[in-house]
């Protein structure tokens, strides 16, 4: 075996291991399920293309508690042709209510695999390097909402790790709802989620088609009889 063949085999083996590691990096999250200590990934997978991103400011006060910052959201089309959603909470200096969770709705009709990353996923855009890991991600039994929980709350001038949701969806919308949850104070925002696929029109049953055809033939026969009578 030549040196080139040895090197080629080593590269192929390392590529297989890298693909396997990436496949194992995300935790499947079925309706009603939970991902404890969600896995971390290096960043946006190679071959992904940014489709859209948004920075949504939030500010709410309740009983002296203030949440203040931005919810960052982005949509990437991955190399497999489906969509990945990225979410990050960043806070301002006047945020004095530790943010313990945020939720996103809706992911009905799609599979979801979840992970998180410390990386700046848009390299110069609104996203930034994260500092606070999520400790739990849950999905409602209906499949609608995902909730990202931070045991070490997101305090002032802080950024969460970017939360990653890999889906089986191919379309997205800005019609989703996000809720930022602090200590006794919360605020709702719009964000990117999967676009619901409208159900296809149901094809008529064969019996229905037969009845319709029989009715049409009968109607045509009546027209023929009337024409013959009128011609006499």
Is 7 among the domain residues?
Answer: no
Sheet holding 172-181, edge to edge: 34-36, 136-139, 145-154, 99-105, 172-181, 186-194
Residue 54, Cβ density class (10 Å: 0-12 exposed, 13-18 middle, ≥19 buried): middle
Assign residue 75 the CATH number of its domain: 2.60.40
Same domain flag for 156 and 212? no
- Distance, first Cα to last Cα, the chain: 99
pLDDT in tens, 32-66: 999 999 999 999 999 999 999 999 999 999 999 99
Same domain flag for 165 and 209? no
pLDDT of res. 217: 44
Token pair listed for 56: 């949504």
Same domain flag for 173 and 216? no
User: Using CA atoms, how far apart are residues 35 and 112, in angstroms rounded to an integer?
Assistant: 11
Residue 94: is its pLDDT beyond 90? yes
Is 6 among the domain residues?
Answer: no
pLDDT of res. 230: 54
Same domain flag for 75 and 168? yes
Same domain flag for 132 and 230? no
Residue 99: is its pLDDT beyond 70? yes
pLDDT of res. 124: 84
Same domain flag for 30 and 134? yes
Same domain flag for 17 and 103? yes
Residues near 103 by beta carbon (within 8 Å), at least 6 away in sequence: 145, 146, 147, 148, 178, 179, 181
* Residue written as token pair 């609104």: 126
Residue 21: is its pLDDT beyond 50? no
Residue 227: is its pLDDT beyond 80? no
pLDDT of res. 196: 79
Same domain flag for 120 and 224? no
In terms of pLDDT, which residue wins out, 213 or 88?
Answer: 88
Same domain flag for 204 and 179? no
Residue 113: is its pLDDT beyond 80? yes
DSSP string over 158-212 = -BBPEEEEEES-S-EEEEEEEEEE-SS-EEEEEEEEEPPPPPPPPPPPHHHHHHH
Contact 110, 192 (CB under 8 A): no
pLDDT of res. 20: 40
At 147 the three-state DSSP class reads: strand
pLDDT in tens, 160-206: 999 999 999 999 999 999 999 999 999 999 999 999 765 545 544 44
The rounded mean pLDDT for the chain is: 84
pLDDT of res. 74: 98
Q: Which percentage of the chain shows pLDDT scores above 70?
A: 74
User: Using CA atoms, how far apart are residues 99 and 150, in angstroms rounded to an integer?
Assistant: 8
Number of domains the chain is built from: 2
Contact 116, 163 (CB under 8 A): yes
Same domain flag for 230 and 152? no
Residue 89: is its pLDDT beyond 70? yes
Same domain flag for 145 and 92? yes
pLDDT of res. 212: 43
The residue range of the domain holding 220 is: 199-232
Same domain flag for 159 and 49? yes
């Amino acid at each position: 075996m030549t040196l080139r063949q040895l090197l080629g085999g080593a590269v192929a083996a390392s590529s297989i291991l890298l693909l396997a590691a990436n496949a194992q990096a995300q935790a499947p999250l079925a309706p009603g399920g939970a991902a404890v200590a969600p896995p971390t990934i290096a960043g946006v997978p190679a071959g992904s293309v940014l489709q859209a991103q948004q920075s949504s400011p939030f500010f709410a006060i309740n009983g002296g508690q203030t949440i203040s910052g931005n919810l960052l959201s982005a949509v990437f089309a991955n190399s497999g042709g489906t969509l990945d959603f990225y979410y990050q909470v960043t806070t301002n200096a006047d945020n004095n209510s530790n943010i313990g969770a945020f939720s996103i709705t809706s992911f009905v009709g799609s599979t979801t695999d979840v992970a998180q990353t410390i990386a700046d996923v848009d390299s110069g855009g609104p996203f930034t390097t994260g500092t606070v890991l999520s400790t739990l991600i849950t999905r409602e039994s209906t499949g609608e909402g995902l909730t990202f929980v931070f045991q070490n709350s997101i305090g002032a001038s802080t950024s969460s790790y970017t939360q990653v949701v890999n889906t089986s969806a191919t379309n997205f919308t800005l019609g989703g709802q996000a809720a930022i949850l602090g200590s006794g104070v919360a605020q709702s925002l719009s964000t990117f989620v999967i676009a619901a696929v409208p159900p296809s029109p149901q094809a008529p049953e064969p019996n229905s088609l037969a009845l319709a055809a029989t009715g049409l033939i009968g109607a045509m026969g009546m027209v023929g009889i009337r024409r013959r009578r009128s011609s006499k």
